[in-house]
A and B are shown apart, each in its own frame.
Chain A
Amino acid sequence: MRHAPATPPLAGNKKWAYMKSIDKLKRLTGEDVAPKKEDPAQTAPSSSERQSQLDNLRHRIENVLARAQTRSHTAASEAQIRGNQGLCEIISGEEIENEHGRFFLASDVVRGGSSHGHHNIREAFDFDMTAAAMLANNPIIGSYTSSDALFLDTETTGLAGGTGTMAFLIGLGWFEEGHFQVRQILARDFGEEKAALTYLKEIAAHKNFLVTFNGKAFDVNLLTTRFIMNRMHSDLAALPHLDLLHPSRRILGHRLENCRLVTLESDILGVQREGDIPGWEIPQRYFDWLKRRDPRLLAEIFEHNRLDVISMATLTAHLVEILTAQAMAQYTHTDDYLAAARLLLKRANEQGVQKILDIFLEKTCSDFSLQSKKKLAQLYKRTGKVNEAAHLWQQMAACEPVEFYAISELAKWLEHHERDYPQAKALIENALAGSNTFSDDEKESLSHRLKRLNAKLKTSR
C-alpha cells in the first residue's frame, strides 16, 4: 500500500507515516489538533535509528495498553454482574438459561379483579371471538378463544428499521384462568438476543394468534428480521394477527387527535400514566444501560412496556364491546357505533348492525339515540338500503318534539318510494300541528311539500 521512501526522506514531518490509520482518520475528521511543525533546531535522527526507537516505544505502549485493557475488561464484566444483580432486585423476574444462553425474564400477573382504566381484567377476558375476527378481518381467529391470543409489544433500539435495529425487550401477555399473565423478555446485551428469541418462539408455539398495536408494520417485521439475523426459523409472521391500530383508527380515530396507544388509553380507556417514559427516550436509555449497567435506567421501560401490553388487552375488549353493542355508554360516543356499524356493513354482517341498532331502540328518544339513528340512516340511504333507513326515520318521527330531518326524509320516502300520499300528508300535518323544533324555513319547506301532495292527491282522484 503505502511505499516506504526509497531514498532517505528529504524533509517533512515523518510522524504521519507511522500513525495508525485511525489517528489519520481523526485528523481527517478534525478531531485531532493540526499538525505541529517540528522544531528545526532539533536534529532528526537517521531513519533506521528512529525506526528502532519507535518500535521500542510502540512495544512499550502496547504492553501498557494490553494491561489496561485486561483491567478494563475485568472492570466491565464486574459492572455487568452488578447490573444484572441490581435488575433482579428492582424488577420481579429471574435469569433464564436455555441452549442459546441466558436472558432476563420479568413476570407479572394482573389479577382478574384488578382494574385497568374503566375495565377490570376479568371483564376484558371473555371477549367475543367472532367480533375479534371481524376486527382482524381474519375469520380463523373466530375459531379460537381469548386464551389463545398472544399480546405482543417490543421496545427497540430505534425506529429507523432495517437490520441495525434490535428489539431488546419483548413484552408478552395472555389470559389464563381469568387473570392476565405478563412476561417481558429482556436481552441484557446483544449477545443474549438468540436466547431471548428462542424463548419467544417457545411461548408463541403455544398460542394461536397475535394481538399487537402496529405490529404488522413494525414489531413482527422487526422480529422476523431478528430471527433471520440469528439464523433461526420463525413462524411468527405466519400467525393470524389482530393489529389493533387499524380497527382503532377506524372506530375511534374520528374523535382522537392521533391514534397512538397512549392517546387511546387516556381518551378512551381511562388509563392515566404517571411519569411514563416518552418513547423516543427508550433507545438511548438502553444504550446507556449497555455502558453503565445501572438497572434504574431500565425500570421505567419495563413499566412502560407492561402497561402497553395490558392496554392492548383492554383495548381489544373495548373494541369488541363496541362492535357487539355492549360498551359502557358513558365511555362511548355515537359516532363510535356508527363507525362500527360501517365496519360491520363492510364485512356484510347484517346481524351485527342490527344489534347495534337495538341499543338505540332501548332508549328511543335520547339525544344519543337520535343522533346515532340519524347517522345510521344517512349511511343506509347512501348505500341504497332505503327501507332500513325508513325504519329508523319512523322511530325518530315518533319522538317529540319532532325534528325536521326525520319528518322530511320520511315524507319523501312515503311520497316517492311508497307513493302513499295520504300518509305523507298526514305525517306533515301532524308534525306541523304538534310539538316540533322547525325553523321558519323548515316550516315553509314542509308546507310546500304539503301543497304538492294535495295537488297529487287531487289528480290521482
Chain B
Amino acid sequence: MAKLTLEEWITRLKKNKSFNASAAAIVEIPAKQGDWEDYPAWVNPQLLSVLQKRGMEKLYKHQAQAVRFIRNGQDVVLVTPTASGKTLCYNLPVLQSILDEPETRALYLFPTKALAQDQMHEAHSLITDLAADIKTFTYDGDTPDDARQAIRRQGHIVITNPDMLHAGILPHHTKWQKLFMNLKYIVIDELHIYRGIFGSHFANVIRRLVRICRFYGANPVFVCCSATVANPREHAEKILEREVALLDKSGAPTAAKTFVLYNPPIVNRELGIRQSAMTPARKIASDLIDNNIQTIVFATSRLNVEVLTKYLKDKFVKTKPKDDHFVTGYRGGYLPILRREIESGLRTRDVMGVISTNALELGIDIGNLEACIMAGYPGSIASTWQQAGRAGRRTGRSLAILIARSNPLDQFIMENPDYFFALSPEHCRINPDNLLILLHHIKSAAFELPFEKGEKFGGENLEEFLEYLEEKGVLHRTDDRWHWAAESYPADEVSLRAINPENVVVVDTTDAGNHKVIAEVDWNSAFTAVHDEAIYMLASEQYHVDKLDLERKKAYVHKVDADYYTDAMTYTNVQVIDSFENHREGGAIVEHGEVQVVRKVVGYKKIKFYTSENLGYGDVNLPEKDMHTTSYWFTIPRDHLRKLDFTPAEIIDGLSALAYTLQHLSAMYLMADTHDIDRSLGDKSGEWFVSQGKTGRVITSFNAGKPEMTDNKTGSRIDEFDPTIFVFDSYPGGIGFSELLYHEHANLLLAAKSLIEKCPCAYGCPSCVGPTLEVGKTAKEIVPKIIELILKGQP
C-alpha cells in the first residue's frame, strides 16, 4: 500500500463517516507569515556571523524587540508560541554582554533538570561556534562535588532549577560571591509552571534571590518566558514584585495546522460511559506511523504511556523487528542517557513514534514532528497548545488531535469548541503571602542574611514574623538586626513542590525476607489511599494495606489478587471564620473568605471491579485533620429550595452533584489540579454537613466539635439549615483561588449548566454531575433547575 502524505491522510480522514460522527470540531488554522527585522548594530560581528551561519539571517520582530529591551535593562516577560525562538531573545544579549565584559554572569532558571540540560547544550553549541572563552554549566543535584567549586567561580552562565537555588545556592551564597557580584541577567523560562503552591514558593525564592543580589550590590535584569496564559504580565509582576514589559506579538512564521477535537463514542448510555481515549489514540497513532508520518502521543499518566507504548511496539515489531526505538515511550523515570538518545532519534527521524507524558511538553528540542495526539485533555488550555505545538514548527502542514476522556473538563471542551479556540482564559494564580509559605521563606531568608529593622519581605508585616520567630527561639535580636540562632538548616524543612514535605512510604512485605519500598504517597493522600485494609493499586498490581504507621510514616502492604478495590469515605466539614466580600446575586448569597476545614476518614467501601457492586464496609480510625484556608461559597436560603418540585433528598443529591461539577470546572478556570481544590456541602456555621455514608448520603450534625454520624436517611433535616456549597483551596492558608472564583461565580454556574445540559448521558455521569451511583438518578434533571434558582432567584 502506498504511503499517504499527511495532507492526503487528513483528506481521507475528513471523508471518514464514523470519524466525523465523533469529531466535535475540525478547525483549520492557517499559516502565518513571518515578520523580520535586522540585528541591532551593537551585536558582536563574530556572534552575528555564527547566528547567520545557523540560518538566522535576521531576527524575528519580537526577538529584535526583546533583545533591545533587555539590552536597555528593562525587565521583560515574553509570551510567544513554541519554536518562535525565545531562547535567542535572552542568549543574544547575555552572550553579547559577556563578550563586552568578561566578568559578567547570568543565572538561568528552568523548572526541570532535563530542560536545564537541553539549554546548556544549546548555549554550549553557540559558544563553541563562537570560539569564545565563555563557560556554561548546569548546577543541580547531579553535579559532581568536585566540579562545583569551578562552576561557582568560573561559570558565566549557570543553569539551575528553583529547588537547587532554594536549598543549595542561596543558603551558601558566600561561595557564589563571584557570581552574585557580577550578576547581570536572570532568566526564568516556563514562567507559567510557577503557579499555585509551587508558584507561591517560587515567588518567595525570588524575593530571597533579589535580597542576596542587593547584598552584593547587583541589580540584574529579569527575563521571563511563558506559554500563553491569560495574565502573563500580572503573573510576572506578582512573582518579581516589579514592573515588567510584556512582549507577546510573535514575529515567527507558523505552519498551517488541522486541529481536531475528538470525543470517543458512548458505549453505555445508562452510565454515560464512553470508549476509553486510549483506544482511538492507539488506532490513529498506528495508522499515522504506518504512513511514515512522525507522531507524538501525549498520555496523561506514566501508566498510560507504558500501556500505549507496549501496544504500538507490538504492532510494529513485525515490520521493524530490530529497531527498538522506532516507536518508544518517554517519561520522567527514564535514564537521562536514554532520553537524550530518543530526543536525537526524533530529530533524525529514526524514531517515528513517541509516547510521552507532559515531560516533552516543555521546550526540549525534538525537531519538527508532523502529528500530535493528545489522549486526554492535558488539564489546561496552555498545556494543550504547548503539546499541539510539538507538531509542525515552521513550515508545511501539521495535525493535532485532542481525544476526550469521560470527565467534566474534557467533556466541557468537547461541548464548547469555540470557547476552547478562543483566547486562553486561564490565569496563573499565586499567593506568595500565604502565611505558612511566607514563614518558611522568612526563616530561610534570615538564615541567609540577618534581617534589619525596617526591611521589607512580602506583603505582611515582617516585624511581627521576626518577633514571632524570636519568641520561638529561632532568631535572636541584637540591636536592630535579627540573626539566625538555631542549628537547623531551614531550606531543608520545606520542599517547593510538595504540599507537605512529609511523605508516607509504601513498603511491600510480600517477600518476608526482602521488604521493598514501592511507592511514596503524600501525607494528605495517605489517609485515603493507604489506610488500614485499603487496596492500594500501583502499576495495575493490587496491594492490601496491612498497617498504616503514621508515626514512622510507613504503610506496610502485601500483594493480593482481589476482585475489588476500596474507596475511602471521608467527611469534610467547613466552617466560616471570616467573610472578606459578599453580595446577593439572584437567589443566593455569594461570599469568599477564610474557613476552617475539618476532614476525617471514617471508613471505606469495598467495590467490585467492573460491576461496581458494593461488597461491604469497614471502619477506619485515623485522626482528624484540621486546616484553615480560603474558600468561595454561596448559600441558598432553604425557602427558595422549597419552591423546587422535588423531595428534600433529591434536592440534597442535586446540590452535591452541583458541587462536584463546580469543583471540576473551577480547576479548569484556575489552571489548577483538581487536587488543589476541594468542595463541601453544608451550612455556614459548620453545624451541618453532608457526606457520603454507608447507605447513601447522610446529613451530619457537628455539635460542639463532635460529629454525630447517624445514618439518617437524607432529607429529614433539610429544613434545619440553609445549604451552602464551598469550593476551597486544599492548602493551609489558601493560595488565593477563592477570590477569583468569587468573581467568576455567574460564569462558573452558567458553564456548569451548559455542560450538564449538553452531556448526552441519560441520568448523569462522571462527565457532568458525577457517577449516578453517588448522586442519584434525578441529579441531572434537578441541577440545571437549581442553577436557575441560584442565578435568577426563581425556579
Residues of A that sit less than 8 Å from B by CB: 1-3, 5-7, 9-17, 20-22, 24-30, 34-35, 37, 157-164, 166, 189-191, 224-225, 228-229, 283-284, 287, 290-291
B596 touches A34 (CB 8 A): yes
Q: Which of B435, B447, B460, B685 contacts A162 (CB 8 A)?
A: B447
Query: Which residue from chain B places its CB closest to the CB of A9 in the assembled complex?
Result: B579
* B253 adjacent to chain A (CB < 8 Å): no
Q: Which of A3, A159, A162 contacts B581 (CB 8 A)?
A: A3
Q: Which of A16, A26, A158, A164 contacts B577 (CB 8 A)?
A: A16
List B462-496 residues whose CB lies under 8 Å from chain A.
464-465, 467-468, 473, 476, 478-479, 481, 483-490
Given A16-B594, A28-B733; A283-B578 close (CB under 8 Å)? no
B436 touches A162 (CB 8 A): no
Sample of 27 A–B contacts (CB below 8 Å): A5-B580, A6-B582, A12-B576, A12-B578, A13-B577, A14-B578, A16-B594, A17-B580, A24-B594, A24-B628, A26-B468, A27-B628, A28-B733, A158-B488, A160-B489, A162-B171, A163-B171, A164-B490, A190-B476, A190-B481, A190-B485, A225-B175, A228-B174, A228-B177, A229-B449, A283-B487, A287-B476
Given A12-B576, A228-B174, A229-B449; A28-B628 close (CB under 8 Å)? yes
A189 touches B478 (CB 8 A): yes
Least CB distance from A15 to B in Å reads 8
Collect the chain A residues with CB atoms within 8 Å of residue B476's CB.
189-190, 287, 290
Residues of B that sit less than 8 Å from A by CB: 171-175, 177, 433, 435-436, 439, 446-450, 459-461, 464-465, 467-468, 473, 476, 478-479, 481, 483-490, 575-583, 589, 591, 593-594, 596, 626-628, 684-685, 705, 732-733
A157 touches B449 (CB 8 A): no
Query: Which residue from chain B places its CB closest to the CB of A14 in the assembled complex?
Result: B578
A284 touches B487 (CB 8 A): yes
A160 touches B468 (CB 8 A): no
B582 touches A164 (CB 8 A): no
In addition to A6-B583, A22-B467, A24-B628, 8 A-B residue pairs with Cβ atoms within 8 Å of each other are: A1-B459, A5-B579, A5-B582, A9-B582, A10-B582, A21-B464, A191-B478, A287-B476
Given A157-B487, A158-B487; A190-B478 close (CB under 8 Å)? yes
B628 touches A163 (CB 8 A): no
Docked pose: A34 CA to B576 CA in angstroms: 12
B732 touches A224 (CB 8 A): no
Docked pose: A161 CA to B485 CA in angstroms: 13
A164 touches B478 (CB 8 A): no
Collect the chain A residues with CB atoms within 8 Å of residue B582's CB.
5-7, 9-10
B473 touches A35 (CB 8 A): no
Least CB distance from A289 to B in Å reads 11
Query: Which residue from chain A places its CB closest to the CB of B742 in the assembled complex?
Result: A3
Collect the chain B residues with CB atoms within 8 Å of residue A22's CB.
461, 464-465, 467-468
Docked pose: A129 CA to B468 CA in angstroms: 54
Least CB distance from B440 to A in Å reads 11
Docked pose: A225 CA to B172 CA in angstroms: 8
Least CB distance from A36 to B in Å reads 11
Going nearest first, the 10 A-B pairs with the smallest beta carbon separation are A164-B447, A16-B578, A158-B487, A164-B484, A160-B489, A191-B478, A190-B483, A225-B174, A162-B171, A228-B174
Docked pose: A163 CA to B476 CA in angstroms: 15
Least CB distance from B523 to A in Å reads 15
Collect the chain A residues with CB atoms within 8 Å of residue B685's CB.
11, 37
Q: Which of A16, A30, A161, A290 has the most CB of B within 10 A?
A: A16
Query: Which residue from chain B places its CB closest to the CB of A11 in the assembled complex?
Result: B684
Collect the chain B residues with CB atoms within 8 Å of residue A2's CB.
580
Least CB distance from B724 to A in Å reads 11
Least CB distance from A435 to B in Å reads 56
Docked pose: A224 CA to B467 CA in angstroms: 29
Docked pose: A27 CA to B578 CA in angstroms: 14
B581 touches A5 (CB 8 A): yes
A162 touches B489 (CB 8 A): yes
Collect the chain B residues with CB atoms within 8 Å of residue A6's CB.
581-583
Docked pose: A290 CA to B470 CA in angstroms: 12
Collect the chain B residues with CB atoms within 8 Å of residue A27's CB.
628
Docked pose: A225 CA to B448 CA in angstroms: 11
Collect the chain A residues with CB atoms within 8 Å of residue B468's CB.
22, 25-26
B488 touches A160 (CB 8 A): yes
B174 touches A12 (CB 8 A): no
Query: Which residue from chain B places its CB closest to the CB of A16 in the assembled complex?
Result: B578
Least CB distance from A139 to B in Å reads 23
Query: Which residue from chain B places its CB closest to the CB of A221 in the assembled complex?
Result: B175
Least CB distance from B469 to A in Å reads 10
Collect the chain A residues with CB atoms within 8 Å of residue B733's CB.
28
B439 touches A25 (CB 8 A): yes
Least CB distance from B696 to A in Å reads 30
B486 touches A287 (CB 8 A): yes
Q: Which of B174, B435, B447, B705 contacts A28 (CB 8 A)?
A: B435
A224 touches B174 (CB 8 A): yes
Collect the chain A residues with CB atoms within 8 Å of residue B589's CB.
10
A35 touches B577 (CB 8 A): yes
Collect the chain A residues with CB atoms within 8 Å of residue B174's CB.
163, 224-225, 228-229
A17 touches B578 (CB 8 A): yes
Collect the chain B residues with CB atoms within 8 Å of residue A17's CB.
578, 580
Docked pose: A240 CA to B740 CA in angstroms: 62
